[in-house]
Amino acid sequence: MIRLLVRASLAALLLVAPWAHAIVFAVNEGVTYRVPNDEIRARYAAIAADLAKLLKQPVTIEPVADYASLRKGLAARSFDLAMVHPAHLSITAIKESGYKLVVVTKGFQQYRASFLVRADSPLKTIGDLRGLRLSMPEEDSITARLTRATLRDAQVDAKSITISTTRYQDAIPFAVENKLANAGATAANSVVAAWLAHGGKVLAQSRPVPIKHVIASPNLSAEQIDKVRAYLLALDTTDEGRKKLELCNYAGFERYDDAAMLAIGTWLGL
């Protein structure tokens, strides 16, 4: 399957002018998940081939795992298109670098942080975390942003809590179970489900936000952005399109209100 996708991508590139500028499509799968770059390129090869035909320019997939590189590239407008897992980075690019929101990803509009506690925990509310220990993903992750915004809404000063961070979300339950932390914040549904299945409790949850945004830089014209949006929105309407989405583990894409997205940014403290 991967060979067929690569061949299709190469064939599409032959259809565009050899002097055409390559459109760079950055893909970030989140800093707290483990996805090899070659796997990411293979997942998006068919979509890149379609976009190359549609825009009559080569489209290259550029996996960007770390947020520092993603921030830098978005600020410099080095990425013409970007699939951005963390909402705060895409919103920052929209506010500060002129990017446009193209679509959000179906199935990822209700991303929220869950505060995990042991089954025998005496904690009842977020406020009970004052003076205790909290484990959460890296400071610049969207989960960490959700966690801090939720603490703020509960009028809990994060400085009153001893916060430890970990790169991978599946390390959070270990810290809580082994009493390295009184609670742990994670937004990984699989982690939360496994925790509950083993008798753990969820103390509270954050507000939900959409993640995995596709954004477009000012390098693309309004007409090009409209074409990309229409293509992505239509993917889940055909069997062929659904197969391409399945490779990316997505159900499809849909539009999202620009003002509502910026309001989420305000809540996140951007």
Residues forming CATH 3.40.190.10 domain(s) in the chain:
2-109+210-267, 114-205
Helix (H) / strand (E) element for 60: namely strand 59-63
Report residue 1's pLDDT band, with 50, 70 and 90 as the boundaries. low
Among 78, 92, 103, 112, CA closest to 189: 112
**pLDDT tens per residue, range 234-258:** 999 999 999 999 999 999 999 999 9
**pLDDT tens per residue, range 70-108:** 999 999 999 999 999 999 999 999 999 999 999 999 999
Q: Which residues contact 61 (CB under 8 A, 6 or more apart)?
A: 25, 27, 40, 41, 44, 45, 48
Superfamily of domain 2-109+210-267: Periplasmic binding protein-like II (3.40.190.10)
What CATH fold (topology level) applies to the domain 114-205? Answer: D-Maltodextrin-Binding Protein; domain 2 (3.40.190)
- The predicted model scores a pTM of 0.87
Q: Interhelix angle for 142-153 vs 87-97, to 10°?
A: 90
Where does residue 45 rank: exposed (0-12), middle (13-18), buried (19+ CB within 10 A)? buried
Q: What pLDDT score does 19 carry? A: 43
